């Protein structure tokens, strides 16, 4: 396994001017950085890759950031904006030495409403249609898209591993994978280890954070069960700490971070990495 951290723990937005965080990540012992791309104008993939190389890190994944203007089940304009953004991420993957786009690519985070069965079916068809086009492009570029279920408070669309597996079946592309997150699974899955086993070889990415979005290991999550499940499916990919704090205002609001969970982002990174290496490696 490779161990990394999402840039949202330290900075927003991530840009060419914030790559200095890479030096500290390397000193702490991380293998990779998961780069959250809020706007395509914020970074030059070639330059960021040179900075990753400079500090001996890899790009663990490109984290898609969806908002009101990016929604594959939204208005025609939102669908197009989201499609253009995801295609850009796919193009950016190669110069970054990265082959995985991750996150809730299907809809705007925070869109959580009640819809009729008919409306939901129509939205599902839209997402499938849009992802078929995007995945065809990803296949040509040798890039995978790992779809993340979010908890019910952040989306009404995909909350469980089962739903992602159905989406993969309906889209029918080898470029589509499953992305699981311990925080969301703690809320939505009956058993996190069982969800991992259900994903099996389709598990393309893994986020590790505490049940309260804090430090992995400093919580009640069944980490031993998760470790056994990851081993049983032969997962040997990226394990990314995706914890948040109040310091990054944009993500704090999106993820409802209203209080201080841990002493500092540095504590989350250092202690989380130590725990994950001991428990999962």
Rounded Cα distance, 218 and 232, in Å:
24
Q: Residue 211, class by beta-carbon neighbours within 10 Å (0-12 exposed, 13-18 middle, 19+ buried)? A: middle
Q: Is 90 within 8 Å of 137 (Cβ atoms)?
A: yes
Rounded Cα distance, 103 and 207, in Å:
10
Q: Is 49 within 8 Å of 42 (Cβ atoms)?
A: no
| Catalytic residue check, 148 | yes
DSSP conformation class of 142: T
User: What is the three-class DSSP state of 257?
Assistant: coil
User: What is the three-class DSSP state of 181?
Assistant: strand
Residue recorded with tokens 């190389």: 53
| Catalytic residue check, 189 | no
Q: Cα dihedral sign for 89, 170, 172, 160?
A: positive
* 148, 154, 189, 262: the active-site residue: 148
* 51, 154, 242, 262: the active-site residue: 242
How many residues can be counted in the chain? 281
Rounded Cα distance, 92 and 201, in Å:
25
* Number of neighbours of residue 97 by Cβ within 10 angstroms: 13
Q: Which helix (H) or strand (E) element contains residue 90? A: helix 76-93
* Number of neighbours of residue 16 by Cβ within 10 angstroms: 12
Looking at the annotation, which residues are catalytic?
Answer: 148, 242
């Amino acid at each position: 396994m490779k161990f990394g951290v999402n840039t949202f723990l330290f900075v927003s937005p991530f840009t060419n001017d914030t790559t200095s965080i890479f030096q500290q990540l390397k000193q702490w012992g991380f293998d990779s950085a998961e780069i959250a791309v809020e706007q395509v104008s914020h970074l030059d993939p070639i330059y960021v890759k040179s900075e990753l190389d400079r500090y001996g890190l890899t790009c663990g994944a490109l984290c898609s950031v969806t908002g009101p203007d990016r929604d594959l089940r939204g208005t025609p304009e939102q669908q197009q904006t989201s499609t253009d953004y995801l295609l850009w991420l796919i193009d950016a993957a190669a110069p970054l030495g990265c082959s995985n786009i991750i996150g809730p690519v299907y809809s705007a985070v925070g869109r959580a409403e009640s819809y009729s069965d008919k409306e939901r079916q129509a939205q599902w068809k839209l997402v499938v249609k849009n992802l078929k086009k995007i995945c065809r492009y990803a296949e040509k570029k040798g890039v995978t898209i790992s779809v993340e279920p979010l908890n019910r408070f952040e989306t009404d669309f995909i909350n469980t591993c089962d739903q992602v597996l159905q989406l993969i079946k309906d889209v029918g592309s080898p470029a589509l994978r499953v992305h699981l997150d311990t925080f969301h699974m703690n809320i939505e899955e009956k058993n996190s280890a069982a969800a991992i086993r259900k994903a099996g070889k389709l598990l393309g990415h893994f986020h590790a954070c505490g049940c309260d979005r804090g430090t992995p290991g400093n919580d009640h999550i069944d980490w031993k069960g998760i470790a056994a499940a990851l081993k049983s499916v032969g997962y040997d990919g990226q394990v990314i700490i995706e914890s948040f704090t109040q310091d990054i205002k944009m993500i704090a609001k999106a993820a409802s971070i209203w209080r201080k969970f841990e002493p500092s982002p540095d504590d989350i990174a250092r202690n989380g990495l130590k725990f994950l290496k001991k428990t999962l490696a």
